[in-house]
Structures are given as structure tokens and as C-alpha cells.
Amino acid sequence: MSAVIKVLVDFLSVPALLVGLTAFAGYLALKDKNFSDALAGGIKATIGFLILGAGAGTLIGSLDILGPMIEQAFNVQGVIPNNEAIVAIAVGEVGQAAALIMVLGFIFNILFARFTPFKYIWLTGHHSLYMATLLAVTFSVIGLNGVVLWLVGGIVLGFLQVILPKWTQHLATKVSGNDDWTIGHFSSLSYVVAGWAAKVTGGDPEKTSAEDMDFPKGLGFLRESLVATGLIMLIIFLVPAFFLPGADRAALGGGTNWFVFLLIQALTFSAGVAVVIYGVRVILAEIVPAFSGIAEKLVPDAKPALDIPVVFPFGANSVIIGFLSSFVAGVVMMLIMGPIGLAAIVPGLVPHFFVGGGAGVIGNAFGGRRGAIIGGFVNGIIISLGAALLLPAMGSLGLENATYGDADFQWVGILISLIGRLFGG
């Protein structure tokens, strides 16, 4: 008998199998899916989770070259804010808790939507996974473990998934003109501050809309995150290399020319991110439809909380303005933060593009083109500071050269760390 229990315990303590089992159960709970669909879904979700680990290995290989190089060149810890990188690395340590928190978070989201006035269903599954991982990391750092960790994490995740959409509802309503849906993206702090700052300091949104301008379309390639990440990583690898002593630089690649070596390292980082995203896609394709189907049956009157690019059609120019402005703020912050003793947060392209772009659209809705610039800029400041302040909250994972890129991951992690210090000493 104990042998059977041992197998069960071992099975459930493997996060990949746990996620697979959840997907399997979710499929069975939906009436129109049969057993073979459910089994295939479970296996696919399991494989998706295993793919995350493969991507993490690739990313760590690339970061282990970049980190020491920045350290030696500038004498600061250089950190890349990239959600996919830190999540893939973290699930290697807290995968079981992360998987359980994600599942419990979905359940509590439905319960809160059913029984509280916050009637929202969070459909941005990759952010649920990333937040679940952050909660698993930060709550374990302050000493929670086992069932308490899973339950507290799940309740907090479910609560964030209804309260933050409520917080951003006025922004979505202003941008789109109706309130059928809202934003479900863990950058709410950036969006709310961007909207407020644009309203206070921006121009007239009707008369000075950024959308009335002629704007170059040449930056569209930034939407291709694979290309954009590779390019920006090349710059990030090359700059510190220039500040190394010549002999050290020449020795970087061993027998290979240092430039060719760094080029391959930069593109390898992008390859690692692509692998992680593929894994996330495989997991979510099995889990989100099941979650959404169950939620629609149980809480038919809830509003969906959606990924940020749903606001992009309301401001194509504002997306680009917000991105550029956010990125400039990120560069300025990087230069300021090293000297004042914080980690140097290298501007990550993905959060600056998606969140800066979203903040630009929101800023434009509240304050015209000046609002779009201001909206993007405040996002750049918030996510750079947040990324640096989050590092100590993540324990040993804070020493990795990657961290979370979006504001809500950052403030939630920092808050949990502060609460831990208040009660734990």
C-alpha cells in the first residue's frame, strides 16, 4: 500500500505532471470533450511544462556569460527584466507550488467573481502563470511552505485577478468607449499611474490626439519579439564588452572571435525565450479554454479581463510613442541606478514595448500626444525601479541576472517581502 502512496506522492510532486493532471480534469469537466481529448490535453500540458525547463537551461547559459561581463565592466549587477527568463528559471525551484497556486488562483478567481461585487474573469493565462511563480517564490522566501503556501498563494492570485481588473476598468472604458471588458495584465500600476499623469499634465485628448499624426510605420518589426529581443540583446552584450580590458575581451570566446561569440550568445538568449514562450503556449492552449468554459458556466455575468494588446487597435501611433518614451526612461534609469547603489536594470524590450505601448494608448486617451509620451515615460520609471527593488524579495533567485519586467509582479513581490519582514523580523 505504501508503495502505491509513494508513487502518487511522487507523481503529484512533479509540477509538469500536476499541470497535466489539471488540464486532464478540466477537459473532463467540460461536457463536449471525450476521454481521448482529455488525455491528449493532459499530456500536452505536461510536455509544455517540461519545455519551460529546456528553455531555462538555454537562457541561463547566455546569462551566465552576460552577468560577469557587466559586473567586470561596470562594477554593478546587471539584470535583464524578462518575465519568461525568470519564470523558467524559478519553476525549476518552486514548480510544484507555482503550478498549484495557478490552479487554485483560477478556482478562487471564479469564487470571487461569483460571490463578490468584483465580477471579472482573468483570461491572460501567461500572466497567471508568471504571477503564480512570483507568489511561490516570494512567499517561500518569507517562510511559508506546503498547504499554507499553496492556499495563501492561490487566494492572493485569485484576488489580484478580480481586484486589478476593477482598478483598470475606468481606463479600458475611456480607451474603448464601452465597459464590456477590461484590462487583465499585471502592469495595472503602470496603466493607472499613466492614465492619471496624462490627465493631470497632458493636453486635450480630442484636439491633440496622437492618432491624428502621420507616423512612420518602420518600427513594426518591434512586434516580432524574437527579432527585437535578439537585436536588443546584441547591444546589451556588446556595450559591456567594449568597456572590458582588450585582453579580456579577446579571450571571451576562447578560440572564437569575441564578436561572433557575443552575437551567438545574444541570439541564443532570444532562442531561449522563444522556447519558453512555446512551452507556455502549449500549457495555456490546454488550460485556458477549460478555465474560460467553466467560468462562463458558473459566472455568466462576469466581464473578461484581457491581455493589453486589445487596446492597441485604439491607438496605433500611441503604441509606438509610448514604447519609445518608456524605453528612453528605461535607459535614463539604468544610468542613474547603478551610481546610487541599485542594480542596473537593462531596459528589457518586451515590457517596454507591450506595457509602454499600452501606457501610451491610455495616456493618449486621457491627455493626447503629450499624454502618450508621459504615460510611456512613467511606465519606464516604474518598471526600472520596481525591477531593482524586487531583487532582494526573491531570495537566491534575486542573484540570477533576470527578473520580472511588469509593475504588478514587482510591487506584489516587494509588498510580500515587507510584510514578511514586519512579522518575521
Partner 1 sequence: MTKSLKILAVCGMGIGTSMLLKLQLDKVIKKLGIDANVDLADISTARGLAVNADLIVTSNELIDRIGDVTAPIVAVANFMDLNALTESVRSALKLNK
Q: 83-105 burial by CB neighbour count: b if 16+ within 10 A, else e?
A: bbbbbbbbbebbbbbbbbbbbbb
225 binds partner 1 (CB under 8 A): yes
316 binds partner 1 (CB under 8 A): yes
332 binds partner 1 (CB under 8 A): no
**Which range in 138-146, 299-307, 361-369, 375-383 contacts partner 1 by CB under 8 A?**
299-307
Kindly tell me which residue out of 88, 126, 275, 379 binds partner 1, with binding defined by CB under 8 A.
126
50 binds partner 1 (CB under 8 A): no
Instruction: State which residue, 55 or 240, has the beta carbon closest to partner 1.
Output: 55
Which residues have C-beta within 8 Å of that of residue 348, sequence separation ≥ 6?
Answer: 80, 81, 82, 232, 330, 405
What is the closest distance, in whole angstroms, from the C-beta atom of residue 284 to partner 1 in the complex? 6
Instruction: State which residue, 25 or 228, has the beta carbon closest to partner 1.
Output: 228
What is the closest distance, in whole angstroms, from the C-beta atom of residue 180 to partner 1 in the complex? 5
Q: How many residues bind partner 1 (CB under 8 A)?
A: 36
Q: Is residue 228 within 8 Å of residue 222, measured between CB atoms?
A: yes
Instruction: State which residue, 127 or 249, has the beta carbon closest to partner 1.
Output: 127
What is the closest distance, in whole angstroms, from the C-beta atom of residue 409 to partner 1 in the complex? 15
What is the closest distance, in whole angstroms, from the C-beta atom of residue 10 to partner 1 in the complex? 30
Q: Is residue 334 within 8 Å of residue 345, measured between CB atoms?
A: yes
412 binds partner 1 (CB under 8 A): no
280 binds partner 1 (CB under 8 A): yes
Instruction: State which residue, 105 or 203, has the beta carbon closest to partner 1.
Output: 105
131 binds partner 1 (CB under 8 A): no
Kindly tell me which residue out of 208, 219, 223, 336 binds partner 1, with binding defined by CB under 8 A.
223
Kindly tell me which residue out of 23, 59, 60, 123 binds partner 1, with binding defined by CB under 8 A.
123
26 binds partner 1 (CB under 8 A): no
Kindly tell me which residue out of 3, 9, 75, 221 binds partner 1, with binding defined by CB under 8 A.
221
Phi, psi dihedral angles at 177 (to 5 degrees): 85, 0
Residues that bind partner 1 (CB under 8 A): 123-127, 176, 180-181, 217, 220-221, 223-227, 277, 280-281, 284-285, 288-289, 292, 304, 306-310, 312-313, 316, 319, 350, 354
